[in-house]
Amino acid sequence: MGETGLRPYKLAFLLPGLLTLLAIILFPLLFTIRVSTSGWDAITPDLNWIGGANYSALWIDARFWESLARLGAMATGTVIIQYVLGFALALLVWHDVKARRFFRLLFLIPMMTTPVIMSVIWRTILHESLGPANDLLQLIGLGPYPWLTSSGWAVTSVMMVEVWQWTPFMFLLLLT
């Protein structure tokens, strides 16, 4: 009655889920490794083995290092902003506040939406001529801004959406 060991029939029930999980993880990983060690283009769809030539080309590619530096700056900036905002929100609902549960749920909504849906919504909001972001900014005498068509504003837009979507996660971590 108090036995906690796994019996063979229990393992048989777990096996299909485990095999599916392994397939979902292993196939893309192995395929990515295969493609990264191959010469491949759209004209000749064959995967020609070239070994580590792609990786050695990265060491001398200036665009790779520029994009890596930009990614590092964006990641550092967004994490710092998320931490500050998450900490502030956690402090706001830590004490006895009316409708505390409502605010906690409200803060978590951006994190619960899928990134694909959020990218479509934010692309619509930040559209240069049709989106409401520029319309609202023009009401207060600012804009319009090329949110998605200028490189500087595009980086700002990506950081803004990233902060908006993942600050609730930081809030949740800091609240616990």
- Give the pLDDT score at 114: 82
Could you tell me the pTM of the whole model? 0.71
Contact 162, 78 (CB under 8 A): yes
Distance (Å, whole) CA 154 – CA 126? 10
From first to last of the 176 residues of the chain, give the pLDDT tens digit: 455 667 788 888 889 999 999 999 999 999 999 989 988 777 877 888 888 899 999 999 999 999 999 999 999 999 999 999 999 988 888 877 777 778 778 877 887 888 888 889 999 999 988 889 999 999 999 878 999 999 889 999 999 999 999 999 999 899 88
The beta strand positions in 21-173, using DSSP E, are 38-39, 48-49
Contact 159, 74 (CB under 8 A): yes
Quickly count: other Cβ atoms within 10 Å of residue 139's Cβ: 9
